[in-house]
Structure 1
């Protein structure tokens, strides 16, 4: 065998082996394209698209710890109590032919082991349907006034028209929950509310009227706030025909406060309130004064403190209450 024949034979053998290996080679599949979370800016900051959908989701909440003080507490002889809370909010939004379709879930967990639903409702075309806080939960900005109900969350249906400068609304609440003011604590009691409001320049006004069908009593409240100087001046007035689901503190009451924005991060709010026929007793009046202060320590971290003094006719001494709070928002 000459050298030429040997080279040709070797080349042929290598070609055959290479062909066999090529035939047996495993070809890796193309990787699936990765879907990254996309920012959704259609409904404000903090929203992102749920992968594979056109629905935008926002997750938020806070972690709060505070020390409460009440000199009338008698449990174990203590007059202060430290408490902590975690709160989560979920908001889902998408565009529809009826406008934005929104859904909300709020979850609250306290250090006593209590975890509960603090809101779950649907909003579309001005309607709110589900479990949410009513208009009586709103109030003045400080921590002194008592112009709302003890129980302000319920299953309800509500419609609100917001024209920018003018607002009008109507709501029907199922007054379930604890047995209060003659309520049996069942799911059969009904309350209705109406709202009128306007915002013009630095002035905002709101009027609420509510009727408790089970107690057969009504309650009314007006709030007026106005930007004045370095802060915001606020007034409120409440009238209740008798104790009912919406207001049970007194037959009538007036409150005032002035929120002073001392710096970009610090505010202080002195406030006062007077109660006529306190506890719906025509021989008893009461008054309350206090101050609330807040400071934004850094982005997402703030502190809030309040001190209040309340005096009721017929009681030997007034009562001091307050709290000191540290809260991380996200």
Structure 2
């Protein structure tokens, strides 16, 4: 073997070894780009894009600690049984998820909110507050009725405490003019098993003045109710008033045949407001204690000739961003129509709430 052949053979062997080592080498992968959470300002503050989608999500809620006081303080919450305690302390957590996206049919919304209460009397309550889908003006699911809207402060009674239904609604929003209609399932609310209700509302806003006219009909008891509510910016605050008439107790209003109420929220400073309010109830409900009169309709419980009135004041103080205190005290006087002994009582609460 000559030297030339030896050199060529050695070079070929080295090339083969180098190729084998190169095949076994580990090549570091390129890092994948990370998608950070992006702020979504298309639907207001607090929304962000769910990574990898064009859906905007807002998470909000509150934690509340409250002490109710006065006659039948435990009864002041609709989820508690009858009681005779003069005061009751409870805590509440509320968490809401609001998902929105733009579509060719308008804004698509999915809303879900849960609520949980706890106190020292064994009342631990977990429930769905609302769960609905809305596409443009069409809305379906479980949500609070228009009867849930009331006056500033904590003195007025503006509708029954059962006015959250599974409903189908259409809402038209023309800016200064709005209108809506809803069909509600009332099963379990009235005394019959197949309840259906219909609501209609028209609203208008002009400058600092807004007005709502709401009408409802309960097909099971074949009775209805109407309510007008007006709100106006006046001086350093907001003046509000409402009037209600009902043909007889029904799923929407069952306290009295008619009622009028008013309140004025006086904004003393940027952080402190005080709201006096008053309400009168004409021809209150028969055979039902006044404290239970807004829990829905039932048989043989029509309106009578008694009356009641209520006055109170609510104070709000914004301690810091996200933390507020509210306190209210109300005096109620009830004159029954030979059904129960006349009654008068003081009630109210003190609340601390952290919003987020």
TM superposition score normalised by structure 2: 0.83
Question: C-alpha distance in 2, partners of 1:324/1:289?
Answer: 17
Q: Deviations over 1:62-89 (max 9, x none)?
A: 1111000122459786300001111110
Does 2:306 align with 1:284?
yes
Structure 1 position 287, deviation (Å): 0.5
Does the C-alpha gap of structure 1 residues 281 and 102 become closer, same or farther in structure 2, counting only changes over 3 Å? closer
* Residue 228 (structure 2) pairs with residue 217 (structure 1): no
Contact 1:37 1:50 in 2 (8 A): yes
Structure 2, unmatched stretches of 5+, are 1-11, 75-81, 286-301
Across the two proteins, how many residue pairs are aligned to each other? 315
Task: Say if 2:108 is the partner of 1:108.
Answer: no
Residues 73 and 347, structure 2, Cα contact 8 Å, conserved in 1: no
Q: What is the match of residue 52 of structure 1?
A: 52
Residue 317 of structure 2 is matched in structure 1 by 295
Secondary structure in 2 aligned to 1:318?
strand
Answering whether residue 210 of structure 2 is matched by residue 204 of structure 1, we say yes
Structure 1: give runs of 5+ residues left out of the alignment: 1-11
Q: Are 2:324 and 1:318 equivalent residues in the alignment? A: no
1:124 paired with 2:150, answer no
Deviation at 1:123, TM superposition (A): 1.2
In the TM superposition, what whole-angstrom CA distance separates every residue of 1:183-242 from its partner, at most 9, and x where no partner exists? 23x3x2100011111101111110101000001001010001111111111111000000
- Please say if 1:241 is aligned against 2:241: no
Shift of 1:40: 1.2
Instruction: Give the alignment of 1:55-204 within 5 angstroms.
Output: 55-72=55-72, 78-111=85-118, 112-178=123-189, 180=190, 183-184=191-192, 186=193, 188-204=194-210
Once superposed, what is the RMSD of the aligned Cα atoms?
Answer: 2.1
Looking at structure 2, the residues matched to 281 and 175 of structure 1 have their Cα atoms a distance apart, in angstroms, of: 21
Give yes or no for contact 1:55–1:92 (8 Å, CA) kept in 2.
Answer: yes
**Counterpart position of 2:270:** 264
Task: With the length of structure 1 as denominator, give the TM-score of the two structures.
Answer: 0.90
Three-state SS of the structure 2 residue aligned to 1:157 is strand
**What is the rounded CA distance, in whole Å, between the counterparts of 2:18 and 2:327 in structure 1?**
81
**In 2 relative to 1, CA 154–76 (structure 1 residues): closer, same or farther, beyond 3 Å?**
closer
CA contact (8 A) 1:154 1:176 kept: no
In structure 2, do the counterparts of structure 1 residues 46 and 147 end up closer, same or farther at CA, with 3 Å as the change threshold?
same
CA contact (8 A) 1:64 1:86 kept: yes
Deviates most, 91-100 or 168-177: 168-177
Counterpart of 2:147 in 1: which secondary structure?
A: helix
Shift of 1:145: 0.4
Answer whether contact 1:108 1:115 (CA < 8 A) is retained. Answer: yes
